[in-house]
Structure 1
Amino acid sequence: MKLKSCITGILLMFLTNAATAILPARDSGQLLVVSDIRISGNKKTKDYIILRELTFRQGDTLSLSNLQTALSESVKNLQRQPLFHFIETGIEYGNHADDVIVNIKVQERWYTWLWPVFNFADRNFNAWLEKGDISRLSYGLFLQQENFRGRLEKLHIRFMAGYQQQLMLTYEAPYLNARKTLGAGLILTGARERETAVITTNDKPEYFRHDDFLRHYAEAAAFLRYRPGIHLSHTLTAQFGSYRFSDTLLALNPEYAGVKTKETVIPLLSYLMKADFRDQRAYPLSGWYADALLEWTGILPSADYDYLTLRSSARWHLPLSQRWNLATGGAVKLSTHGTKPWFRNQGLGYHRDYVRGYEYQVVDGDNFWVAKANLRYALLPLKIIRISRLKAEQFNTIPVSVHIGAFADAGRAWRGKPGENNSLQDKLLFGSGLGIDFVTYYDKVVRTEFSLNREGKAGLFIHFMAAI
């Protein structure tokens, strides 16, 4: 019986990266007291950051089965944070028959990166690759400090040069109070651009380049986040942006700023609610996620703009068997009437909001919806590769998985100025195809997909995040 239990435990550790020690056989309903929680492997991360994500506390009384369930859920909570490669848990008895000690061992990531950045002017890699113009790249450095001071703080500094110049500072402190429920952050951005998208023509953004700067802007945003439990969070953000446009830019598209003046300010207030019940962030295989963002642009009486935008998305991940997985998701955006700057009123074709097969196109509109579905098969389930020659544990243990699958997307954007020779607005878009996903550590995902859209146009596209 003990041999069978040990084998089961080893298999569970391999498949989930979370090993729960098997206690001597006892009634699963027996009540046990968590007398101690012992954490190891966290050379930088503070203990309280890990304890915050657990669904149980020292001194809690739980049945053996409930404690094992709580450990499994706690590992998922920790995996959603950008902190650890692997998490192992174990249970052992204490000095008394009903006391247990919970052991948590983590393997930390590398938290400080200085990246060279090559940024293309287009919306995504595929749109840039269509032309392949190296001169349209901007370059710079990106200092990425995750888990700053071991307190899950985030510090990002980004510097860009070239045709699109930018300096951005992001700082976030997740916990400000003793209960670890309130956090706050600040984002400061200054930029000027010699090249920018100026108008949509033939269902594609048309870019214009000039020796002089076409647009200057500075933005400051401060946010307060409330996270009372594990899965739900509420974020209130106040942002103020100051913009200056060149005469050339406004002549190319009089609706670019939405107003006829060369300078404008855009104040806004937003509220974001998130619910995250996924097993992990980068490439989830089970659970669900939902968010809702309500944004009021032009909150000041003197502002040039005054409209509301509601954007919401949801994603579901359903394991069908050990290797098969179904993922579905959707997003919707609704806006009230009002003066809107063209460059901020994005429809389909930006960020995650696109129908696969239309990566080269955009669809302007005040409103849109998009729905996606993926059926995936784990061609290579999670495999752990160990490189003994590398001494740094943040790099010598590499998780790798490969998934193949089929997908189908649909979407529609409507209401808004259609522009010149644009035919996709207020039209049902549909795309389907086959793809292969490569997933490895530090949340890196590379997707290669062959798509066919409703217009009969096919293409091979590359993306760097999970589709759903």
Structure 2
Amino acid sequence: MLGLNQIYVKRIPLDSILPALRIFLFGLFYLLQFTANGQDTSYAPITPVSPERVKVNNIYIIGNQKTQKNIILRELDFTTDYYYDLETFLGILKADEQKIYNLRLFNQVEITPLFTGPEEVEILISVKERLYILPAVIFQLADRNFAEWWTNQNRDWSRVNYGLRLNHSNVGGRNEKFRFSGQLGFTKSFDILYSKPYIDRKQKHGLSFQLTYSDQKTIPIKSEFNRQVFFTNEREDVLRKNFVSAIRYTFRRTFYNFHFATLGFQRTWINPEVLQVNPNYFQHEENNLRYLYFQYSFRHDKRDNVAYATSGELLQLTATKYGLFSNEDLNEVELSLTANRYIPINDRFHFAAGLTGSWFLSQRQPYTLVRGIGYNPNFIRGYELNVIEGQHLYVQKNSLRMKLVDVTFDISSFLQADQFNELPLKIYLSGNFDHGRVTDRNNIPENAKLTNKFLFGYGPGIDIVSSYDTVLRFEYSINNQGAGNFFFNLRAPF
């Protein structure tokens, strides 16, 4: 991490051997000087007296064998040939480390300032790249969560999706993303996504494209008694086909603020038998639903780790208009909010609080747009087995977490690849309390037990965080109905 005396020796490309040699010689000079004085160089400052201000002469980057330098330099909040207050400058370097790591391109990021004069420093940025091309086998449950599959669906192995997925997270070393997946099983689908974060020299504007198709023989058609009701006909015909295409424009003027504008088209076809079981599935008599949609979203993201944050904040505001013209099958507006805060208490403890909300302006929506508690990301611990559907909802989550383990294992004797030769492991013990409410304007009698009521759940949990943004959660939760259960999840709660 940050330290005025740390010197990192890495494999340096040929075109940067002279600058790296300069840094090495300066570091060696100061190392010999303080060793001769009998001082512990691992904690002693580089200069006898810390300067009040510093100026950056040069910035060197090592370890980026594939990633282009401008992708890393885009995250830096300082420049060369400008004087900074020393304390402020060290804070900037720490924040820049977090921003570079949150690109999800590197397993490790270290920024080291090395003094070359009384008020002058050279900056060395050392990164350890991830493996960017990840072919993977798809084997996942089709249900909302593990508890839904285990309990409500009686561990039915036919409700499993399987296939192949190819992810390239750094096309051309420019942080471009490409994803292709082909899936069989409970839901047959294919998905293609390509995103380019920057299309201009100033690195502020970006574009992405996505194309998705899926079909299912078993689909949820409504909810009763706060559980999903699934339908399959006797011939096991395809009951729903869904096609979505979208283009998204991104604008990032500052480091932590993002703007997204998405224009998309969606077409959903259902088997006419679905309308016999639920005539209000589409809110009209036809078995096709077609519409354009436009979505604007603002995101302020200042988390230390986007996969499992322990400090920082996240705010996201989204407005979506479904149906842009009067001749379309849908005319609806949805507003949503996410606001999370992560507060470090000391080295071992931190507190996390998150709020999500969603509001539809109309009283009734097609079932393909139904929202509620029980659908991602709106979960209340203890209610994972339920869906509570309506037009308005809020969920507020709280976790007090204590870090039990923070170690890194050297596994280079088993895996020689640089991207996998270390295995970080963090384990947190959490105490959780969530609460929320769903407002259903239609007051459906069979769901009245949990709609339009204050709900809460609480309990302990264990969170395991490892490499490549892996998060495992084991929790036991009790809700205010008095029901308790064990739950397993594969991502951070918020």
What TM-score range do you get, normalising by the shorter chain?
A: over 0.9
Structure 2 residue 415 is matched with structure 1 residue 385: no
Aligned partners of 1:215 and 1:246 also within 8 Å: yes
Aligned partners of 1:23 and 1:91 also within 8 Å: no
Aligned partners of 1:305 and 1:338 also within 8 Å: no
Structure 2 residue 145 is matched with structure 1 residue 124: yes
Q: Distance in 2 between matches of 1:225 and 1:365?
A: 31
Aligned partners of 2:363 and 2:442 also within 8 Å: no
The CA RMSD over aligned residues, in Å, is: 1.7
| 1:380-422 Cα shifts (integer Å, max 9, x gaps) | 1x21111131211111111110000211000100124454621
TM-score, normalised on structure 1?
Answer: 0.93
Aligned identity (percent) is 28
Q: Distance in 1 between matches of 2:440 and 2:40?
A: 61
Q: Distance in 2 between matches of 1:4 and 1:199?
A: 72
Aligned partners of 2:312 and 2:341 also within 8 Å: yes
For 1:373, the aligned partner's letter is: N
Aligned partners of 1:306 and 1:338 also within 8 Å: no
Aligned partners of 2:62 and 2:126 also within 8 Å: yes
What secondary structure does 1:185 align onto? strand
Aligned partners of 2:51 and 2:118 also within 8 Å: no
Aligned equivalent of 1:90: 112
Q: Distance in 2 between matches of 1:344 and 1:280?
A: 31
Residue 139 of structure 1: which of 162, 170, 174 is its match?
162
What secondary structure does 1:356 align onto? coil
Aligned partners of 2:317 and 2:336 also within 8 Å: yes
Aligned equivalent of 1:321: 346
Q: Distance in 2 between matches of 1:145 and 1:288?
A: 28
Q: Which moved more, 1:370-379 or 1:205-214?
A: 205-214
Structure 2 residue 33 is matched with structure 1 residue 35: no
Aligned partners of 2:158 and 2:185 also within 8 Å: no
Residue 455 of structure 1: which of 468, 474, 481 is its match?
481
Following superposition, the deviation at residue 137 of structure 1 comes to: 1.2
1:10-89 aligned at under 5 Å gives the runs 22-30=45-53, 32-89=54-111
What secondary structure does 2:371 align onto? coil
Aligned equivalent of 1:192: 215
For 1:297, the aligned partner's letter is: Y
Q: Which moved more, 1:205-214 or 1:391-400?
A: 205-214
- The size of the alignment, in residue pairs, is 453
Q: Distance in 1 between matches of 2:181 and 2:444?
A: 34
Structure 2 residue 455 is matched with structure 1 residue 429: yes
Ranges in structure 1 where 5+ consecutive residues have no aligned partner: 10-21
Q: Distance in 2 between matches of 1:91 and 1:456?
A: 56
Say if 1:410 and 1:74 are closer, same or farther in 2 by CA, change over 3 A: same
Say if 1:218 and 1:63 are closer, same or farther in 2 by CA, change over 3 A: same
Aligned equivalent of 1:18: none
For 2:340, the aligned partner's letter is: R
What secondary structure does 1:299 align onto? coil
Aligned equivalent of 1:281: 306
Aligned partners of 1:364 and 1:418 also within 8 Å: no
Aligned equivalent of 2:426: 401
TM-score, normalised on structure 2?
Answer: 0.88
For 1:100, the aligned partner's letter is: V
Structure 2 residue 276 is matched with structure 1 residue 251: yes
Aligned equivalent of 2:14: none
Residue 285 of structure 2: which of 252, 260, 272 is its match?
260
Following superposition, the deviation at residue 240 of structure 1 comes to: 0.5
What secondary structure does 2:213 align onto? strand
Aligned partners of 1:364 and 1:417 also within 8 Å: no
| 1:130-172 Cα shifts (integer Å, max 9, x gaps) | 2210011121111111112111011011111123111110110
Look at both structures and tell me which one has the larger radius of gyration over its CA atoms. 2
Ranges in structure 2 where 5+ consecutive residues have no aligned partner: 6-33
Structure 2 residue 171 is matched with structure 1 residue 148: yes
